[in-house]
């Protein structure tokens, strides 16, 4: 029966620097192989552990950065929410002010004069939807809230532009309203039914007769344009000024007319002189105000 081969071995010789005996260690090959495997495994585990450690370090750094960014985002979101609340409150105040202005415009109309432009088209609308957002309003609701505020701001801009146009028109109306006395003197015949001095019949007197000396100045009671300057039957020399908005003023029995046809005159401008032309019983100014062709009492318009 053949003898089995001896297992391969390695001999490790240890030589001391001193005079000690040389030592020999016989190591089977399989031990060295197992030791190499074990060392490799330990090295691999060490490398994996080291890699995991550095990975954890990187993750910790990223988490710290993310926490800082989240804190900044929360701060910015709170700031945006505060601004949204401020804008919402401001628009709400503008809404209430708009409603007050429109109410005031409606109450200031003067139907007696027949010159009202308003009321402005829209009355107070529904107040701003939703009160100012709470500080804890969710982030998901912010886009919708901002869109709502943008829409409300656009509507408010349109509403305020309408009010501005109205007040600009009112400013023009006030400048065109015949609010001054056209001449200095005393009223000898008022607006309304009277006894005609020529026929002794009761007739409608369409204006005011202001007695004063011949040549006394006649002033334009408001801004306007001269649309007639000439002679007209019993009125003698007549001047007619168109003030816009359907309002015209007439001046009769004049001695002179200074304003020219088509001329634009300002309130208080000297446009003529008192006279005694036409069918007149003495020097005076016959003054009329007509709105859309209908005679109105001039006293309704005089403010001074």
> Is the whole-model pTM more than 0.85?
no
pLDDT of residue 108: 53
The conformation of residue 294, written as its DSSP 8-state character, comes to E
Residue 99: which residues within 8 A CB-CB, separation 6 or more? Answer: 123, 124, 125
Q: Which residues pair with 195 in a beta bridge?
A: 202
CATH fold group of domain 186-300: Glucose Permease (Domain IIA) (2.70.70)
CA atoms of 26 and 13, how far apart (whole Å): 9
* Contact (CB, 8 A) for 228 and 221: no
pLDDT of residue 123: 45
pLDDT of residue 6: 58
| Full pLDDT tens readout for the chain, 304 residues | 555 555 567 676 767 666 667 677 676 777 777 777 787 888 888 888 877 777 777 777 777 888 888 888 888 778 777 877 778 777 777 777 777 777 766 655 555 544 544 444 554 444 444 444 444 456 667 777 777 777 777 777 777 777 777 777 777 777 788 989 999 999 999 998 877 766 667 788 889 999 999 999 999 999 999 999 999 988 999 999 999 989 999 999 999 999 999 999 999 999 999 999 998 889 999 999 999 999 999 999 888 6
CA atoms of 173 and 169, how far apart (whole Å): 6
Strand, helix or coil at 19? coil
pLDDT of residue 60: 72
The residue behind tokens 């318009």 is 301
pLDDT of residue 197: 64
pLDDT of residue 77: 79
- 231-273 pLDDT, tens per residue? 998 899 999 999 998 999 999 999 999 999 999 999 999 999 9
* Contact (CB, 8 A) for 302 and 180: yes
CA atoms of 122 and 162, how far apart (whole Å): 9
92-120 burial code (b ≥16 CB/10 A, e <16): bebbeebbebbeebeeeeeeeeebbeeeb
Q: Which residues pair with 251 in a beta bridge?
A: 239, 287
Cite the DSSP H helix spans in 108-210: 142-176
């Amino acid at each position: 029966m053949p003898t089995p081969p001896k297992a391969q071995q390695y001999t490790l010789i240890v030589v001391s620097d001193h005079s000690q005996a040389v030592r020999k260690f016989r190591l089977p090959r399989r031990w060295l192989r197992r030791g190499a495997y074990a060392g490799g495994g330990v090295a691999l585990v060490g490398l994996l552990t080291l890699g995991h450690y550095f990975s954890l370090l990187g993750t910790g750094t990223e988490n710290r950065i993310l926490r800082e960014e989240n804190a900044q985002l929360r701060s910015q979101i709170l700031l945006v929410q505060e601004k949204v609340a401020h804008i919402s409150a401001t628009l709400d105040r503008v809404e209430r002010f708009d409603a007050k202005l429109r109410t005031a415009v409606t109450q200031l109309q003067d139907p007696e004069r027949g010159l009202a432009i308003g009321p402005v088209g829209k009355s107070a609308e529904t107040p701003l939807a939703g009160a100012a957002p709470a500080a804890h309003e969710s982030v998901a609701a912010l886009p919708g809230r901002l869109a709502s505020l943008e829409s409300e701001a656009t509507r408010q801009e349109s509403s305020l532009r309408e009010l501005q146009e109205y007040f600009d028109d009112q400013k023009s109306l006030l400048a065109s309203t015949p609010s001054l006395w056209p001449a200095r003197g005393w009223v000898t015949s008022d607006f309304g039914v009277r006894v005609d001095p020529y026929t002794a019949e009761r007739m409608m007197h369409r204006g005011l007769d202001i007695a004063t000396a011949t040549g006394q100045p006649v002033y334009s009671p408001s801004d306007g344009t001269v649309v007639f300057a000439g002679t007209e039957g019993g009125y003698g020399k007549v001047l007619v000024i168109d003030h816009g908005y359907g309002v015209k003023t007439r001046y009769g029995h004049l001695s002179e007319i200074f304003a020219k046809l088509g001329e634009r005159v300002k309130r208080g401008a000297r446009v003529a002189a008192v006279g005694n032309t036409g069918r007149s019983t003495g020097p005076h100014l016959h003054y009329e105000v007509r709105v859309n062709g209908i005679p109105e009492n001039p006293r309704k318009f005089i403010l001074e």
